[in-house]
Amino acid sequence: MNIKDLYDLSGRKAVVVGAGSGLGAAAASGLADFGAFVVAADLNSDGAEETVRRITESGGKAVAASLDVTDTAAVDACAAEHADAEILVVTPGYNARRRLLDTSDDDFDTVIDVNLKGTYRLMRAFGGFMAERGKGSIITFASFRAVVVEPGQGLYAAAKAGVVQLTKTMATELGSKGVRVNAILPGAFETPLTTQIKSDPEWWGAYEQKSALKRWAQPHEIAGAIVFLAGDAASFVTGSQQLVDGGWLAADGRFEPTL
């Protein structure tokens, strides 16, 4: 067996939701680079089209699709249209960075609907078709915030912790059907979702110093984990939580003593 071939995704269709920017765009490009035909889906149609343009200019194959993950009918229709998809990557995220006492029911509903229920809708819709076909890989996006929190991240952390539990549950329910389901937990990545943090130099710098690598990550650095979990190289990996956090959770506290 040639281990290199286990990373080859030629002939497989991958639906990447949230592919219009950030980590979703990087995931779409990475899968296309390894041979997958990518459906770049996003609420932002222009962003999805731009991702497709970059993929095709690099020799890959992709099409764009408009999709609102809060619309159950739209999600079900997308899954039916791409019932032959072997790979589903779920990246959409929304954060309301406010302390819990300052949040509203609308904040809670939006964060949960996009992050948690949106993931649930997609897993349910695509997972059914994958189970019928007897194969598939679903990759959800949680966050290191599913494990550790900071003031102002409560709603987001709760939603992402829920994503981890949904991922584990579907992994156990669909494993016998040949479908693998894993969660990626990104750390501090420089994306549109972290623009608010970047606007505050003290906040940005604190994040930079907390990881073991002492820096923020760039979107392309998520692609390796995506490609691994998508294909046969991860054929015995399911129900896992893959940290891509630069060693954030490996570090004990924010102080590094001089020894």
Contact indicator for 141, 183 with CB cutoff of 8 Å: yes
156 is catalytic: yes
Chain centroid to CA 149? 19
- Determine the Cα–Cα distance for residues 143 and 188; give it in Å rounded to an integer: 9
Nearest CA to 80 among 117, 124, 44, 116? Answer: 124
Pairwise CA distance, residues 78 & 43, whole Å: 13
Catalytic residue selected from 7, 94, 120, 156: 156
Catalytic sites, residue numbers: 156
